[in-house]
Amino acid sequence: MAFGSQQRRAWMPPSLALGWISQKARARLGLILLLLCCSSLLASTPTPHPVVSFDPPLTVNEFPRQLSFHTTARSQGAPITEAWLLFYPRDEMTTPVVERVQLEVQAGEIVGLSYTWETEDRLVVPGMPIVYWWEVEDSLGRRARSDEHTLRYEDTRFNWQVYETEALSLWLHDQPESLGEYAFTLAQEALQAQSELYGTSLRFPIRILLYNSFQEFAEYHARVSENVGGEAYTGFGITAQILPSESYRQSWLPQVIPHEISHLYFRQLTFHPAGQEPPSWLNEGLSVYNEQADQSHMMQIALAVAADGRLRPLTALSGSFGPYDPEGFYQAYAESYSAVVFLLETYGAQALADLIQAYGQGLSTDKAFKAALGMDLGAFQNAWAEWLGAAQPFAPTPTALVWPTPGLPPTRTPTSVAAQPTPTPKAPPLPSTPDKDEPQFASGIRLPCLAGAIPV
């Protein structure tokens, strides 16, 4: 054929073109296509999980010594060779750190799984929620996981009298029903008053436990000082307090119950995982303000220290109130209370609600005060000092320099061991001779807790 000539080929439908292929070739082609389809399906089909079922779990609570977990795993097709229990205390304000415990198992298609969590030598919180589940692996390397379960590690030593609503519960034992009803009424009134003050509701329910003695309280601690009268576990929404002598309860309950609810409420509203801790004076001042008690003595102390030049700036009360001594703590609480009264009387409840909301959004103290009150903390504390009648304003607080330390990883607090609680100290005795069974307070001042000493 000459160069440049055109070659023509007749077109025919594929069905006719196949007619030119021999029957044997068509059979081979069909087999090849079938094998290609099968290999494609096999490549896209994932390795199946083992068919495993878990019996309903059983837990045995021996608070505060140990908590045992039990179940049975049943496999079809291959024996179970490995198993784990995974669990963590559900703290609403901490990233969960899951404990993963490998269990000893005898390989088989039906395997009993058990683990005992020893808690006698660690701090456990009565009533804290525990989230847990099981995982197993079979001889083919396939894994299966059970559903998650949640239980509360309740204090089972006593027959509790429980008073509760959806947002609040109060627990006590071996006490007259009248005392339980009185305490629960106080708690409900406090919760209602604080929801109005803060302008919002709780984010999760709170629980108040009242123990009858220090011994009952101390038994679930590895170590605890005899000066502690209670603790608040804000991430769990739980506070545990020790009832004083019977003659003092009628005046103690209206102070401590609203005070502790205020700490739990405040922490829920102001918590932000990346935010700055609100100052202790604001937390403690609000807790004293929320007590159902006459606080005129607190204002008298604040006015007196302002008049004689001993008023401390609020920036000095932002963290710890320092080593415990009665006079120093009374002054710290009095100044904190007076600052809250000044804030509310001068700027109003809405400004307080805006301030708390700003902390909840993760703002720093100065930014939170500017957003809510239009001034930073330094300007606010000078206005407060002038309101109290202090002779001169405070000097500006210098900005702290932060020098980074390279190479050090951040510290993370695991929730498998409860975070440090806020202790409630017992009141210090008076120098004078008191009544035999009555707790004593200098100048009539009552200190329900020490949240300022160890910030919540």
CA separation for the pair 75, 97 (Å, rounded): 29
Average pLDDT over residues 63-67: 98
Average pLDDT over residues 83-109: 97
Lowest mean pLDDT among 80-84, 244-248, 289-293, 441-445: 441-445
Q: Is residue 55 part of a domain?
A: yes
Q: Is residue 125 part of a domain?
A: yes
Helix (H) or strand (E) holding 28: helix 23-44
180 and 67 in a common domain: no
Lowest mean pLDDT among 25-29, 56-60, 334-338: 25-29
Fill in the amino acid letter for 244.
P
Helix (H) or strand (E) holding 133: strand 128-138
Predicted pLDDT of residue 18: 42
173 and 149 in a common domain: no
Give the long-range contacts of residues 345-352, CB within 8 A, separation 24 or more. Answer: 346/383, 346/387, 347/372, 347/373, 349/197, 349/199, 350/199, 352/197, 352/198
Lowest mean pLDDT among 40-54, 78-92, 207-221: 40-54
Average pLDDT over residues 1-20: 42
Phi, psi of 132 (to 5 degrees): -150, 160
Nearest to 342 by CA among 392, 292, 394, 298: 298
Q: Is residue 450 part of a domain?
A: no
Q: Which two tokens stand for residue 181?
A: 């009803």
Residue 259 has pLDDT above 90, yes or no: yes
What are the beta bridge partners of residue 70? 58, 114
Helix (H) or strand (E) holding 193: helix 177-198
Per-residue pLDDT band for 28 (boundaries 50, 70, 90) equals: low
CB neighbour list of residue 334: distance below 8 Å, 6 or more residues apart? 298, 299, 301, 302, 305, 445
Per-residue pLDDT band for 225 (boundaries 50, 70, 90) equals: confident
Are 363 and 373 contacting, i.e. CB atoms less than 8 angstroms apart?
Answer: no
Nearest to 262 by CA among 349, 208, 166, 191: 191
Phi, psi of 424 (to 5 degrees): -115, 110
Predicted pLDDT of residue 35: 54
149 and 177 in a common domain: no
What are the beta bridge partners of residue 62? 66
Lowest mean pLDDT among 167-181, 238-252, 314-328, 356-370: 314-328
Q: Which two tokens stand for residue 315?
A: 């920036």
174 and 124 in a common domain: no
362 and 243 in a common domain: yes
Q: DSSP strand E in 50-125: where?
A: 51-54, 58-62, 66-76, 80-89, 99-103, 110-118
Predicted pLDDT of residue 320: 81
Predicted pLDDT of residue 227: 80
Among 127, 153, 179, the domain boundary falls at 153
Q: Is residue 149 part of a domain?
A: yes
**Alpha carbon distances (Å) from 433 to 126, 437, 439:** 37, 11, 11
Phi, psi of 236 (to 5 degrees): -100, -5
181 and 60 in a common domain: no
Average pLDDT value over all residues in the chain: 83
253 and 201 in a common domain: yes
Residue 373 has pLDDT above 70, yes or no: yes
348 and 213 in a common domain: yes
309 and 186 in a common domain: yes
Predicted pLDDT of residue 31: 58
Residue range(s) defining the domain that contains residue 118: 51-153
Are 59 and 70 contacting, i.e. CB atoms less than 8 angstroms apart?
Answer: yes
149 and 201 in a common domain: no
Predicted pLDDT of residue 322: 72
Lowest mean pLDDT among 162-166, 222-226, 397-401, 436-440: 436-440
206 and 140 in a common domain: no
**Alpha carbon distances (Å) from 347 to 221, 247, 355:** 43, 40, 11
Q: Is residue 242 part of a domain?
A: yes
Residue 431 has pLDDT above 60, yes or no: no
Counting the structural domains of the chain, the total is 2
Residue 265's CB is within 10 A of a number of other CB atoms, namely: 28
- Report the CATH number at residue 350: 1.10.390.10
CA separation for the pair 341, 388 (Å, rounded): 11
Q: Is residue 303 part of a domain?
A: yes
Residue 328 has pLDDT above 50, yes or no: yes
Among 118, 137, 153, the domain boundary falls at 153
100 and 71 in a common domain: yes
What's the count of helices (H) and strands (E) in the chain, helices before strands? 11, 15
Lowest mean pLDDT among 6-20, 107-121, 336-350: 6-20
- Report the CATH number at residue 77: 2.60.40.10
Residue 14's CB is within 10 A of a number of other CB atoms, namely: 7
**DSSP H stretches of helix in 318-450:** 326-347, 349-360, 365-373, 377-388
CA separation for the pair 286, 338 (Å, rounded): 10
Q: How many residues does the chain have?
A: 456
Lowest mean pLDDT among 6-10, 357-361, 394-398: 6-10
Per-residue DSSP letters for 400-435?
Answer: PP----TTPPPP---TTSPPPPEEEEPPPPPSSPPP
First-residue to last-residue Cα distance in the chain? 97
Are 388 and 338 contacting, i.e. CB atoms less than 8 angstroms apart?
Answer: yes
Q: Is residue 10 part of a domain?
A: no
DSSP 108: B
Q: Is residue 120 part of a domain?
A: yes
CA separation for the pair 424, 225 (Å, rounded): 10
Cα 164-169-171 angle, rounded to 5 deg: 105
Per-residue pLDDT band for 391 (boundaries 50, 70, 90) equals: confident
Among 113, 132, 153, the domain boundary falls at 153
Per-residue pLDDT band for 394 (boundaries 50, 70, 90) equals: confident
